Amino acid sequence: MIAKIRKIATFVEETRREMERAISPPTRRAAAVAVIENPCAGRYVEDLSELMAIGEELGDLLTARAVAALGISGASAESYGKAAAVGENGELEHAAAILHPKLGTPVRRVLGKGTALIPSSKKRGGMGLVLDIPLGHKDAAFVRSHFDGMEVRINDAPRANEIMVAIAVTDSGRPLARVGGLTKDQIKGEDGLR
Amino acid sequence: MPEVVIRKRTICVEEIFHEGGPVAEKPLRRAAAIAVIRNPFAGAYVASIEGFMEDLKPLGLAMARQLIAALGGDAKAVEGYGKGAIVGSAGELEHGALWHVPGGYAMREVLGGAKAIVASTKKVGGPGTRLDVPITHINASYVRSHFDSMEVGVNDAPRADEILLALVMTTGARVHARVGGLKASEIKGEDGLR
C-alpha cells in the first residue's frame, strides 16, 4: 500500500420503517471511510500522481469493505457514490486527485459493472466534519428512485495533515420512492444514463 | 395542489482567489440559493405527492434566476451546477426528491438548455443541518475540472414541518484544477456526458 492509513470506518444503515410504513425488504446503505496521511500536506505540490495512485488502492479496498459490510455480492449493489475530506493543511485538489483519475476503475471491478458516473463531493475542513456522499444508480444515472445521499462523520478526522476518503454502496433506492422517472427495471444500460 | 409557502430565502456567494498555488486570473465564484418552504406532506404518509413538483416550478425558476444575478447577470458565465434538499424531521426523504424535476429543469431552462444531468443530494435533518451540494459541468458530466461541491445550510431550518431547497451554480473549474481528464474545451456536447 502506498497510502498510510490511520483508520478505516464502515457504516451500515438499514431503514425498516418510514412514515409508519414497513419497508420490506429494508433499504440498506454502507459507507467505508479511510483516514490517510496526506503526502502533499503543508506545501504546494504540482504533480499529484502519488495521490492518484492512492485513489486506485482505496477504490478497491473501500468498495470491498462496503460490499462486505452489506453482506452482498458486488453484482447485487445498486447505487454508489464517493467523497473525500481534506484536512486544513491540504488543498481541495488533493481530494480531486484521489477521487477522479483512478479510483473508479477498481470500484467498478469490485461491483462487476458500473456504467454510470460515480457521483462525488469533496471539501476541506477540520475534525468531525460531515461528508454527504451523493448516491446514484450504478448503471443508469437517471434512475430517479436511487438519487440519494449518505452522511458520514468521524469525530477525530481529518487531522490537519490527513485526508478522509469515503465510498458508499447500497443494495436499494430510497425507502418509499414514488416520484416517478426512470425505474431500475427500465434500465437499458448502454450509456450509463438510462 | 398545495400552495408553496416560503418562510425564508438565502443566497450565498463565494469568491475564490487561490488555494496555496498561483492566484487565478479570474477568481472562481460559487453561489447557492436556498428557499425554506412549508412541507405540505409533513406529519403523515401521503401516497400521491407527484403533483407538488409542478407547484414548485415557479420557485425553481426564480431561484435559478437569482443565482445568475448573483454571479454577475450573464447566464453564459455559468459552467457548473448542482441541487439539494433537506427535509425537516416531520417529513420523509421522498419529499426532498420532489425537488429533482423543478430544480433541475429550472436551471437548464434558465441556462439555455444545459445538457448534463444535475448532480444532487438530499437528506432528512434538523435545523442547522449542512448539505454538501455536488457540482458538475452543465454540459458534460465527465469534465473533471468542474467536479466540485458547495456546503449549504441555514441555522434555523428546516424546522420539523419544512423543506430546505437549494440550487448551486459556479463560474468555472476548481481554482487549481490539474488532475487531467476531460477538459471543458473538449466537450462534444451530444449526450450530456462528454
In a domain, B131, yes or no: yes
pLDDT in tens, A133-152: 999 999 999 999 999 999 99
Q: How many domains does chain B have?
A: 1
Nearest to A141 among B117, B131, B178 (CB): B117
pLDDT 10s digit of each residue in chain B, 194 long?
A: 678 999 989 888 899 988 888 999 999 999 999 999 999 999 999 999 999 999 999 999 999 999 999 999 999 999 999 999 999 999 999 999 999 999 999 999 999 989 999 999 999 999 999 999 999 999 999 999 999 999 999 888 999 999 999 999 999 999 999 999 999 999 999 999 99
**pLDDT value of position B1:** 63
pLDDT value at residue B18:
86
Cβ distance of B122 and A151 shorter than 8 Å: no
Q: Which three cell numbers stand for residue B48?
A: 400521491
- Element (DSSP H or E) covering residue B59: helix B52-70
Domain with B54 in it: what CATH number?
Answer: 3.30.1330.110
Q: How confident is the model at residue A155 (pLDDT cuts 50, 70, 90)?
A: confident
CB contact under 8 A, A120 and B134: yes
Q: Is residue B87 part of a domain?
A: yes
- Under an 8 A CB cutoff, do B94 and A176 touch? yes
Range of the domain at B143: 6-186
Query: What are the tens digits of pLDDT across the range A87-126?
Result: 999 999 999 999 999 999 999 999 998 999 999 999 999 9
Say whether B149 and A121 touch across the interface (CB within 8 A): yes
Question: Within 10 Å of residue A185's Cβ, how many Cβ atoms?
Answer: 6
In the CATH hierarchy, which fold is given to the domain comprising A5-186? 60s Ribosomal Protein L30; Chain: A; (3.30.1330)
pLDDT 10s digits, A34-64? 999 999 999 999 999 999 999 999 999 999 9
For residue B192, tell me if it sits in a domain.
Answer: no
Whether residue B194 is contained in a domain is answered as: no
Expressed in angstroms, the distance from the first to the final Cα of chain B is: 39
Asked, for residue B115, whether it belongs to a domain, the answer is: yes
The reported pLDDT for the residue numbered B36 is 94
Closest CB from B98, B148, B176 relative to A91:
B176
Residues from chain A contacting residue B97 (CB–CB below 8 Å): 144, 147, 174, 177, 179
| Statement: the pTM of the whole predicted model exceeds 0.90 | no
* ipTM computed for the complex: 0.71
DSSP string for A77-129: --EEEEEEEE-TTS-HHHHHHHHSSSSHHHHHHHHS---S---EEEEE--TT-
Residue B96 placed within a domain:
yes
User: Does B193 reside within a domain?
Assistant: no
B70, part of any domain: yes
- A13: Cα within 13 Å, side-chain hemisphere: 17
Residue A189: the pLDDT is: 84
* Chain centroid offset of residue A60 CA: 12
